[in-house]
Amino acid sequence: MIYASEVVKQIHEACHDIGFFYISGHGIPQQTTDDIMEAARLFFDMPFEKKIALNIRNSKAYRGYIQKGLFKLRFQLNLRSGVLFFRGGKKQRDA
Q: What is the per-residue pLDDT across 16-32, written as a single tens digit (0 to 9) for each?
A: 888 778 888 889 999 99
Q: Measured between alpha carbons, how far is 40 from 83 in angstroms, rounded to an integer?
A: 9
CA–CA dist 11, 2 (Å, integer): 13
Question: Is the predicted pLDDT of residue 86 greater than 80, yes or no?
Answer: no
- Convert the pLDDT of each residue in 54-71 to its tens digit: 888 887 877 788 777 666
Task: Provide the β-strand partners of residue 42.
Answer: none
- How many Cα atoms occupy the beta-carbon half-sphere of 78 within 13 Å? 14
How many angstroms separate the CA atoms of 51 and 64, rounded? 9
What is Dmax (Cα atoms) for the chain?
47
